[in-house]
Structure 1
Amino acid sequence: MSTWRKAQELAASRGIDALLVTPGADLRYLTGYVALPLERLTCLVLPASGAPTLVVPALERQAAVASGVDVEIATWTETEDPFALVAQLVGEATTIGLDDHMWAARVFAFGEAMPQADQVLAGSLVQVRIRKDAAEVAALRDAGLAIDQVHSRVHEWLRPGRTEREVGADIAAAILEAGHETVDFVIVGSGPNGASPHHELSDRVIEVGEPVVVDIGGTMPSGYCSDSTRNYLAGGTVDPEYAKAYAVLEEAHQAQREHARPGVTAESVDAIGRQIIADAGYGDLFIHRTGHGIGQETHEEPYIVEGNDLVLEEGMAFSIEPGIYFEGRFGARIEDIAVCTADGLEVLNNTPRGLVAL
């Protein structure tokens, strides 16, 4: 069954008359078309019953056809109103689901073109993405292997005397060499910069004995993403306080891996590791959720966080990445991507999780 048919059935079951999906991961997932997010409107019109239509600018028609989409294509020229065309295709629909990442300008334009329709968010509707099938799991497995290859080579580039930016450039090149189509992010957080979970590359020179957080990821030609974090020691001797906290982090990460499986809630995975970290006296230093879903986006459902009582199911893929951060000194985070199997968990990243001394 086409993925758009699954979304169509779900829309009908929830009383949504039509889905409107603009460029992004949802459109790629539903049609296979990687559309450019241009000022010109591209939009999949997916009614709750009947055939869908992909509305594209006339100059993008060849690209859409070449992508192999299995839906009818309707084009509009530079002097035509694409929102009126969408309204015509939607007809008398009274409830329309919009993809979560739609530009605000599009939302307002659709509202003006279809004043009779109530607009609702459809992100949770496209829940067909939250449970990966065998082919998707295989794609994520390939992505995990590719990013593991890069982590296994970090010793080639990370050493005292080099800047984070220099190391990051080498890592970015290796991400592409390992088979990724794009580099999505490279975090090289040395010393005090390691205490900032989303640190940007800087010209800070890495010093002897500093721990370095390396969090990297990219997108494979399949459209599926990688994301893995490991921690390195740039020569010298590790700070005893860091070593003590790191041992706690390893214990928390292992407990979360062992707990996560179909039938448990997303928040319970977060809670079991967070409690271990809190009991060791570092509770205030774990400043983010345990994880995020991953697929054709690096961050998507399900989120592994307190308050999310979603029960995990087979095919759900997500990160497990507890962290401990000493502001102004250093930080550490261990991150693996994992996917729920029929009765357990498959971890897709398997480079050493301990502090790697270089």
Structure 2
Amino acid sequence: MLTPELLPRLQQLLTDADLDGWLLYDFRGTNAIAAGLLGFGGLCSRRVFAFIPRTGLPVGIQHAIEPGPWKQWPKGWPLRVYSGWRALESELATLVQGKRVAMEYSPGDAIPYLDRIPAGVLEMVRASGATVVSSAELVSQVYATWTPAQLASHQRAAEHIARVARDTIAHAGACVAAGTPAAEHELQQRILEAFERAGLLTDHGPDVAASENAANPHYVPSASRPRLVQQGDVLLVDLWAKEPNGIYADQTWMASLGTPATRVVTVWEAVRDARDAALTLLRDRIAAGEIVRGGEADDAARAVITARGFGNDFWHRTGHSIDARELHGSGPQIDNLESRDDRVLIPGVGFSIEPGVYLTGEFGVRSEVNAYVGDDALIITPGEIQQELWVV
């Protein structure tokens, strides 16, 4: 959140980027980045702006009817009030006219997670005499990075959910061996109960999917359409959770109920090797102090799966940002398929690495770990990642 303590660092970043300021905008939750930085809670039903200048104090523009969202705005910082559109546009012009300002804007919608400003608002800001550029790098540096305490929280959650995943898969195998196979939704509930006992939180899920259902990356098990996990199935377990006020850990684990078919092993090895290709690229470039971008890691993973003959069955990006506020965060994505994310992976950002192959009507395979960029090394969670397809 934007605070007097954060302001000097942010203003130095603006100076380094040759920006006159960062212009935040929100209306009815259209810009979660702005709302998060301003500490807004609940619905913001009127347009708001906040201008963070390279020097001097930030200035907010608040609607007269709605002071509530500004409760955490520091008392010594100016807060201008408007009610009509003429006053709003006039106040805005006095702040940004002739200035080069950053906004949550991505040219050509290249990075959808960043592209939060409506076209009409961009037109209004430009008509006020401002030059608008993307806030992409500022978002990475200020909004998406983790603190050391958040990294430690993530690592604890990661080790715990890895244990839960292993327990769930072992339980599925034991149920089959006993002749009483469990349904997907029953295994899902077992995971949720384990999270509750551990004091971990999740917003939805997890995903437990057998064979043909695992070929749907966004499958959701349900008691209304129970599917037993039986001998011969491929089992995908995707689970995510965090400590209260912590950073999410997000993992996917794979198993076979009984000896897997050769085709299953072939796909598993392609996915595992793609995951490791992305991690190796990142690890080597970061250790060497070289610039690396999420799209490059996506390309590395995709090249492996394509070379193995499954390129058309890898439908999604290799990974998503994980930030302090969201599981699917606003920092750099590991993506050169769905979007063109060319942001640098800077120290402090975290993300998933999760290539997958989805053979509709047969089975799907995904292997997911998380990674964090340290000052000179890539930190991967959990500490022990899956190397072989589990057979239970």
TM-score band, normalised by shorter chain? 0.7 to 0.9
Q: 1:214 aligned to 2:237? A: yes
Residues in 1 aligned to 2:356 and 2:123: alpha-carbon distance in whole angstroms? 43
Amino acid across the alignment from 1:356: W
- Aligned twin of 1:324: 357
Could you tell me how far apart the structure 2 residues matched to 1:181 and 1:151 are? 15
Structure 1 stretch displaced more, 210-219 or 155-164: 155-164
CA-to-aligned-CA distance 1:1-32 (integer Å, 9 cap, x gap): 8444433443453434442154665347645x
Q: Percent identity?
A: 24
Report the alpha carbon displacement of residue 145 of structure 1 after superposing the two structures with TM. 3.3
Equivalent residue for 2:55, pick from 22, 40, 49: 49
Change (3 A) 1:73 1:169: farther
Paired residue type of 1:165: H
Matched, 1:127 2:140: yes
Please say if 1:10 is aligned against 2:13: yes
**Structure 1 residues 289 and 2: CA distance shift in structure 2, 3 A:** same
Which letter maps to 1:26?
I
Task: Tell me which residue corresponds to 1:140.
Answer: 154
SS in structure 2 at match of 1:230: strand
Q: Does 1:252 align with 2:280?
A: no
1:298 maps onto 2:321 in alignment: no
- Is 1:200–2:220 an aligned residue pair? yes
Q: Is the 8 A contact 1:111 1:117 kept in 2?
A: no
| Aligned counterpart, 1:26 | 33
* Residues 1:282 and 2:310 are matched in the alignment: yes
Write the letter of the residue equivalent to 1:205.
Answer: R
* Residues 213 and 219 in structure 2, CA contact (< 8 A), matched pair in contact too: yes
Q: Whole-Å Cα distance in 2 between the matches of residues 313 and 115 of structure 1?
A: 34
Contact between 2:352 and 2:371, CA under 8 Å: does it hold in 1? yes
What is the aligned partner in structure 2 of residue 227 from structure 1?
Answer: 250
- SS of 1:272's equivalent in the other structure is helix
The reply on whether 1:98 has 2:103 as its aligned counterpart is yes
Relative distance call for 1:248 and 1:121 in structure 2 (3 A) is closer
Q: CA deviation at 1:330?
A: 0.3
Letter in 1 for 2:275: H
Kept after mapping to 2: 8 A contact 1:175/1:183: no
Cα 1:43–1:139, aligned 2, differ >3 Å: closer, same or farther?
A: farther
Q: Find the aligned partners of 2:75 and 2:246 in 1 and give their Cα distance.
A: 18
Structure 1 residue 239: Cα displacement: 2.5
The answer as to whether partners of 1:256 and 1:273 remain within 8 angstroms in 2 is yes
Please list, as runs of the form range in 1=range in 2, the aligned pairs for 1:59-98 lying within 5 A after superposition: 59-60=68-69, 64-65=71-72, 72=77, 74=79, 80=83, 84=87, 88=91, 91-94=94-97, 95=99, 96-98=101-103
Are the counterparts in 1 of residues 57 and 78 from structure 2 also a CA contact under 8 Å? Answer: no
- Of the structure 1 ranges 333-342 and 92-101, higher mean CA displacement relative to structure 2 is found in 92-101
- The worse-fitting range, judged by mean Cα deviation, of 205-214 and 142-151 is 142-151
Distance in 1 (alpha carbons) for counterparts of 2:150 and 2:86: 33
Counterpart CA distance in 2 for 1:196 and 1:21 is: 36
Structure 2 stretches of 5 or more lacking a match? Answer: 105-113
Q: After TM superposition, give the deviation of residue 221 of structure 1 in Å.
A: 2.9
The verdict on how the C-alpha distance between 1:289 and 1:182 changes in structure 2, with shifts beyond 3 A counting, is closer
| Contact 1:148 1:350 (8 Å CA) reproduced | no
The one-letter code matched in structure 2 to 1:125 is L
Q: Which runs of 5+ in 1 are unaligned?
A: none
CA shift digits 1:304-345 (9 cap, x unpaired): 234656554433322221212211100111111112233332
Contact 1:83 1:109 in 2 (8 A): no
2:128 to 116, 119, 132: 116
Q: 1:60 to 1:294 in 2, by over 3 A?
A: closer
CA deviation after TM superposition for structure 1 residue 111, in Å: 6.0
1:39-93 CA distance string (max 9 Å, x none): 35565442333222565833456xx44xx968748597xx945995696377341
The normalised TM-score by structure 1 is: 0.78
**2:150·2:246 contact (CA, 8 Å) conserved in 1?**
no
Task: Give SS of 1:183's match.
Answer: coil
1:272 aligns with 2:300: yes
